[in-house]
DNA sequence: CAAAATTACTAGTCGTATCTAACAATTTTC
DNA sequence: GAAAATTGTTAGATACGACTAGTAATTTTG
C-alpha cells in the first residue's frame, strides 16, 4: 500500500507542473498532459487522494498536500538530475533526454542519483576536466573530431589553472 | 503486440543466464531466480513462446530461439553498460548497482546507452582523465579526501602522457 | 435562466502480472 | 515398479492502469 507506482509518480509530477505553470491543475489538463482519457485521471486522482498526496474534490481543481508536494519535489529533482546528465554531458537531444529522464526517474536509487550529481559537479569543477574537456568528448563522438594534441591540451589546462590562481590569490603580474 | 514488457525482458534475461551458467533453463529455476511462483513462470513462458523468443514444450527445459537470443543479448548488454557505469564510475556498491541496472536497463534509449558507453571509454582513455582522475572523484565523494594540489596533479598527468608517448614511439623489440 | 457545451465521474472491459489452490506429469526413492 | 517427492499446468482471484460508453455536474452562451 505504501509503494508508489511509476504511474502515480507521473501524475504527481504533472500536477506539480500544472500547479506551478498554470497555478491550478484541472483534471482535463492533467489528461491532456499525460495523453490519457479523463476517466483514467479520475481513477489516479482518487488513488493519490487516498494516499493523502493531493486535495481532491470532484469538479474542483487539484492541489498538492504538503506531503504530496515533498514527494513531487523529490521526483522533479530526480528528473532534473537525469535530464541534465543526459543533455549536458551526453549531449542527448532535448526531446530524447526528456523522454528518457522521465522513465529512468522512477527507477534510479537515491545513492546513484546523489553520486551522479556529485559526478557531474566534479567534472565541471575539476581543473583537469570542465567545459572544454566535455567539448572534446562531444567532438570525439562526432567522428570527425578526435583529439590530436593531448600534450598541448593538458598544458593549456594548466595555464587556465594558473590564471585562475592568479586571479583569485596573489596579484602577480601576468606573464605567459 | 510487438512491444516487450519489462517483465518479459527480465524473464528472457534470466533464461539467458541460466542457459549459459546451468546449460539449461528449467521453469523451477526461473521461478527461483525471479522470486516468483511457478504458475507465473508458466504464464510468462507461454507469452515468450507466442512471440517466438523461446522454444517451449511443457515439462522440458526452455531454450532461446535465435531471435530470443538476439533480444536477450541486447538486454544483457544494456545491463552491463549500466552496471559498469554505476559500479566503476560512480562507485556504487555492487548489489545496489546490480539492482538499479536491472531496473534502468528496460527504460534507457539506445542513443543514451551508446553515448554512455563512449563517455565511459573517453574518461578512461583521455589523458586528462583516466584511472587516477576517477580516484580523485571517489576521494572527493568521501568527504575527507578533497584534492589539494591541482597544479601538481595536472603536471603528473602530463608526465604520464610523455612517458606513454616515449613507450609507444620506440620500437618494442619484445613483441612478436 | 434554460439549452448547449464542456468537464468530470461511474461502470464495465481488457491486458499485464502476480498469487493460491488444485490437479497432472515426471522423477526419485525404496 | 509403486509410493513419494518434485516439478509443471490450469483455473480463479487480486491489483494496476488503460480504455470506451454512458451519465451527471458545471460552465458557457444566447
Q: For B104-150, write each residue's pLDDT tens digit.
A: 999 999 999 999 999 999 999 999 999 999 999 999 998 776 788 88
Q: Does A122 touch chain B (CB under 8 A)?
A: yes
What's the distance, Cα to Cα, between the start and end of chain A in Å? 66
Indicate yes or no: CB of B127 within 8 angstroms of CB of A162: no
Asked if the model's pLDDT at residue B171 lies above 80, the reply is no
Residue with cell 486535495: A55
Q: In this complex, is the C-beta atom of B134 within 8 Å of any C-beta atom belonging to chain A?
A: no
What proportion of chain A, given as a percentage, has pLDDT over 70?
91
- Can you give the pTM of this predicted structure? 0.89
Longest dimension (CA), chain B: 67
CB-CB under 8 Å, A155 with B158 = yes
- Is B146 in the A-facing interface, judged by CB distances under 8 Å? no
Is B39 touching A (CB cutoff 8 A)? no
Asked whether the beta carbons of A140 and B118 are under 8 A apart, the reply is yes
Q: How far is B75 from chain A (nearest CA, A)?
A: 16
pLDDT at res. A20: 92
Subunit contact B112:A128, Cβ cutoff 8 A:
no
Chain B CB within 8 Å of residue A97 CB:
yes
Task: Please give the pLDDT value at position A167.
Answer: 56
What number is the average pLDDT over the span B40-55?
A: 96
- Per-residue pLDDT at A172 exceeds 60: no
Residue ranges of E strands in B103-154: none
| pLDDT of A168 | 53
Residue B87 has pLDDT above 90, yes or no: yes
At residue B59 the predicted structure's pLDDT band, cuts being 50, 70 and 90, is confident
pLDDT digits (tens, 9 = 90+) for A15-36: 999 999 988 899 999 999 999 9
Percent of the residues in chain B that have a pLDDT greater than 90, as a whole number = 73
Nearest to A115 among B90, B151, B155 (CB): B90
DSSP collapsed to 3 states, chain A = CCCCCHHHHHHHHHHHHHHHHHCCECHHHHHHHHCCCHHHHHHHHHHHHHCCCEECCCCCCEEECHHHHHHHHHHHHHHHHHHHHHHHHCCCCHHHHHHHHHHHCCCCCHHHHHHHHHHHHHHHHCCCCHHHHHHHHHHHHCCCCCCCCHHHHHHHHHHHHHHHHHHHCCCCCCCC
Q: What pLDDT was estimated at residue B34?
A: 96
How do residues A81-123 score in pLDDT, each as one tens digit?
999 999 999 999 999 999 999 999 999 999 999 999 999 999 9
Q: Which of A81, A102, A109 to mutate to test the interface with B (most CBs of B within 10 A)?
A: A109
Q: Do B118 and A99 touch (CB under 8 A)?
A: no
Substitution target from A102, A154, A168 for chain B, most B beta carbons within 10 A: A154
Q: Do A154 and B154 touch (CB under 8 A)?
A: yes
User: Which of B90, B150, B158 has its CB closest to that of A151?
Assistant: B158
Across A158-172, B77-91, B150-164, the highest mean pLDDT is recorded for B77-91
The residue with cell 521453469 is: B27
Rounded to whole angstroms, the Cα distance separating B13 from B19 reads 10
Alpha carbon A83 to chain centroid, angstroms:
4
Provide, as residue numbers in chain A, all residues whose Cβ is less than 8 Å from the Cβ of B161: 150-151, 154
Question: Using CA atoms, how far apart are residues A87 and A96, in angstroms rounded to an integer?
Answer: 9
Task: Say whether pLDDT at B2 is over 90.
Answer: no
Q: Is the pLDDT of residue A174 over 70?
A: no
pLDDT band of B175, cuts 50, 70, 90? very low
Strand partners, B63: B55
Report chain B's terminal Cα–Cα distance, integer Å: 55
Rounded Cα distance between B49 and A113, Å, is 37
Contact A100, B112 (CB under 8 A): yes
Q: Once rounded to an integer, what is the mean pLDDT over residues B69-89?
A: 97
Average pLDDT, chain A: 90
- Cβ within 8 Å, pair B111-A92: yes
Positions on chain D within 7 A of a protein C-beta: 6-12, 16-22, 25-27
Amino acid at each position: 500500500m505504501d509503494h508508489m507506482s511509476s504511474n502515480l509518480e507521473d501524475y504527481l509530477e504533472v500536477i506539480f507542473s500544472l500547479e506551478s505553470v498554470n497555478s491550478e491543475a484541472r483534471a482535463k489538463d492533467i489528461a491532456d498532459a499525460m495523453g490519457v482519457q479523463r476517466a483514467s485521471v479520475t481513477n489516479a486522482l482518487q488513488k493519490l487522494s487516498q494516499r493523502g498526496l493531493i486535495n481532491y474534490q470532484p469538479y474542483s481543481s487539484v492541489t498538492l498536500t504538503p506531503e504530496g508536494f515533498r514527494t513531487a519535489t523529490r521526483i522533479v529533482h530526480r528528473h532534473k538530475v537525469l535530464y541534465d546528465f543526459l543533455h549536458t554531458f551526453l549531449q542527448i537531444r532535448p526531446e530524447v533526454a526528456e523522454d528518457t529522464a522521465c522513465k529512468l526517474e522512477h527507477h534510479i536509487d537515491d545513492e546513484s542519483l546523489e553520486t551522479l550529481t556529485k559526478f557531474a559537479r566534479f567534472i565541471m569543477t575539476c581543473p583537469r576536466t570542465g567545459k572544454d574537456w566535455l567539448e572534446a568528448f562531444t567532438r570525439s563522438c562526432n567522428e570527425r573530431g578526435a583529439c590530436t594534441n593531448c600534450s598541448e591540451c593538458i598544458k593549456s589546462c594548466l595555464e587556465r589553472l594558473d590564471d585562475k590562481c592568479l586571479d583569485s590569490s596573489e596579484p602577480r603580474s601576468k606573464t605567459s
